[in-house]
Structure 1
Amino acid sequence: MSLNPVISRLIQKAYKMGFADIHTFDEDRMRAFLTHPKFKTNSAPFVDYKTHQNVTLRCYTPICPLSNQALKKPMGVLIYLSATAFVLDRLDASNDYCSLLANTLQMKVINIQHGLAPEHKFPKFLDDCVDSIIWLVEESHRLAILPEKLVIWGESSGGSIAASCTHVLRDRGLGYIKHQTLFYPMVDLVNPYPSKEIFGSGYMLDKTFIDWLDERGFYPSQDRSHPLVSPLLSSNFNNLPPATIMTAHYDPLRDEGELYAEKLKQAEVPLYHKRFDDMIHGFMRFYGKVPTCHEAFTTACQQIKLCLSKPQ
């Protein structure tokens, strides 16, 4: 299938505006350039909390579709890890998307404002997220959440962190996460793949940009093959949470994401995987413009509901 025509036009516009040169930007200019698109949705009210490690967690409460009022009963919670590229502050920028998640799922949504590179390199951003998940469970009564219905949703770099969180918590014997949703995750910073070669330029995730992220997110001496940096290289995929993995055909990270899905399947982890044949990396940022994004979002939410409806 050919590239979605709307996506194709948006790509052309982005590169005309200088997207190919973003690897030459400093962090401040990058943060100003990569703004997050807005879309119309019913805003879910939110409250900010601080963990013991001083990490900000923004907690969204869904709106009841009948009364249009915020729900007040304890409910399940989704941890959202956005595509920060390790350097972008997505706390305010994700208000629309987190509201959409909360209202669609009728669950609370927690957006974790983890430490950002280059000021905070690996493993700071991973540690922030793991510690925040543990804090949420410990403070579940205060936040009116049901810890037995805790799921995680990560996109791109957020998908990498989300995947690593499941491995860390599993290894600690903490089965908190009941389902993981990974959109086009970055799970192997070491090995070449055909998709990286074929789609490594001109599809909104150029190799030059990936190298830019790598230089800021990690110290030169850090081993990129460490399984918490590249979770695809983990030797143990047993007893990980059920997963939904969404990949895109025109994505340099396609092959590693699909191999990650295959490793989960081989370990008999319940899995739903779908490749969107006309999409690029990061296609969910075009929610509101491209019907395929609605399909992907709805399907992912349905998989969460299905998983949580099953007896524990």
Structure 2
Amino acid sequence: MLVSLNTLRIAGLAIAIASTSAVAHAQQAQPDPQMQAVLDALKGLDAKPLHTLSVPDARTQASAADAARTVQRDKRISALPEAKVATKDIAIPTAGGSLPARVYIPEGDGPFPVVLYFHGGGWVVADINTYDATPRALALGAKAIVVSADYHHAPESKFPAQHDDAWAAYTWTVENVHTLNGDANRIAVAGESAGGNLAANVALMAKAKKTTMPIHQLLVYPIAGNDMTTPSYQENANASPLGKADMEWFVGHVFKSKDQISDPRINLVGRDDLGGLPSATVITAQIDPLRSEGQAYADKMKAAGVSVNLINYEGVTHEFFGMAKVIDKAKDAVDAANADLVKAFAKRK
């Protein structure tokens, strides 16, 4: 009888564990139909979780942007008017070598306000070609020149090479954007994911160095902390296209040691020097491990007296922002970002 009781207890424990696991898994929200269509397209392109791949394979497989373009093509959605935005490829000279950059130029007469934009990809994958949709949408909607600056990638160049590059790109933009018909007195910084972290750091560095400050920050689901046990990490541990294991994969390639993620350039939510930063738009996605830290950084800026517009979008995942052609919530997010940029630019005219 004792054996039977133990067996029952063990079985009961197994059921309890399974139940707890099911509840935890159920915490991840379901993508809305438009987001799901992109995720299905990504799966159809045979994209695999980044953490299962080598760096070369991760860099060459289909991206979320490729999936969005696939949906756009299949639905026969026009590339206009964004496709009409003129572009010019340039090189930004830095102490570490030239950085590729692409300048997006709106129609009309300048000088135009300027957005310095940094792409995502965990500082390991992606480039200015992958992240083409956002700069086009910002140039069009904010009627601004957008300088999309690349940076050295890990693991070939470890942290803080990317932050050094971002600062070099900003100082170059301040000093030279007039040659591109841009207004150096009206420069905003913007970025997605790892690029959002770079944009935030540019503003922080400008403040610390007491030099020309950007007039606005657009931070789209930025890397803003080093805690992988936040509510959004727990809810979205297995999310696509970015889950917890993928973030751990990035950390393993970017940093010389895991201790470096405590650096204040990474752990933005741990900083206490946020007063005096420019206004910010912070956009987060529900189905994203980075949601909690992005929202926490927005709250800390607000507490420090910074004007912040924090917007969270339900039913969408990391990378949704550049998918405005096929996801309505992405279009809403881009429109909100552009409205805030226009407002910030108008204050400096």
The alignment's TM-score, normalised by the length of structure 2, stands at: 0.81
Given the alignment, which residue of 81, 85, 97 partners 1:43? 85
Q: Distance in 2 between matches of 1:185 and 1:170?
A: 19
Q: 1:109-258 maps to which residues of 2 (within 5 A)?
A: 109-190=146-227, 192-220=229-257, 222-258=259-295
Q: Which moved more, 1:86-95 or 1:129-138?
A: 86-95
User: Does the 8 A contact of 1:162 with 1:182 survive in 2?
Assistant: yes
Q: Distance in 1 between matches of 2:261 and 2:221?
A: 19
Deviation sequence 1:96-139 (CA, Å, 0-9, x none): 43233212221111011111111111110110010111111122
Deviation sequence 1:243-298 (CA, Å, 0-9, x none): 00011122111111111110011011011111112221111242211111111000
Q: Secondary structure at the match of 2:218?
A: strand
Q: Which moved more, 1:287-296 or 1:40-49?
A: 40-49
Residue 271 of structure 1 aligns with an amino acid whose one-letter code is: V
Change (3 A) 1:20 1:52: closer
Q: Secondary structure at the match of 2:260?
A: coil
Deviation sequence 1:45-71 (CA, Å, 0-9, x none): 31413324322232221123xxxxxx4
Change (3 A) 1:21 1:2: closer
Q: Distance in 1 between matches of 2:191 and 2:212?
A: 18
Instruction: State the Cα distance separating 1:143 from its structure 2 match.
Output: 2.7
Deviation sequence 1:225-255 (CA, Å, 0-9, x none): 1111222221211111100001112211111
Q: Secondary structure at the match of 2:275?
A: coil
Deviation sequence 1:29-57 (CA, Å, 0-9, x none): 11111433346122323141332432223
Matched, 1:24 2:68: no
Given the alignment, which residue of 83, 91, 105 partners 1:61? 105
Instruction: State the Cα distance separating 1:310 from its structure 2 match.
Output: 2.0
Q: Please name the residue that 1:67 is paired with.
A: none
Higher helix share: 2
State the identity as a percent: 23
Greater CA radius of gyration, 1 or 2? Answer: 2
User: Does the 8 A contact of 2:221 with 2:283 survive in 1?
Assistant: yes
Residue 225 of structure 2 aligns with an amino acid whose one-letter code is: D
Deviation sequence 1:57-95 (CA, Å, 0-9, x none): 32221123xxxxxx4x32211011111221224222334
Given the alignment, which residue of 94, 100, 111 partners 2:137? 100
The alignment's TM-score, normalised by the length of structure 1, stands at: 0.90
Q: Distance in 1 between matches of 2:127 and 2:318?
A: 18
User: Does the 8 A contact of 1:181 with 1:243 survive in 2?
Assistant: yes
Q: Distance in 2 between matches of 1:59 and 1:98?
A: 9
- Number of residue pairs aligned between Structure 1 and Structure 2: 305
5+ residue gaps in structure 1?
Answer: 65-70
Change (3 A) 1:92 1:223: closer
5+ residue gaps in structure 2?
Answer: 1-28, 73-78
User: Does the 8 A contact of 1:152 with 1:179 survive in 2?
Assistant: yes
Q: Distance in 2 between matches of 1:125 and 1:161?
A: 8
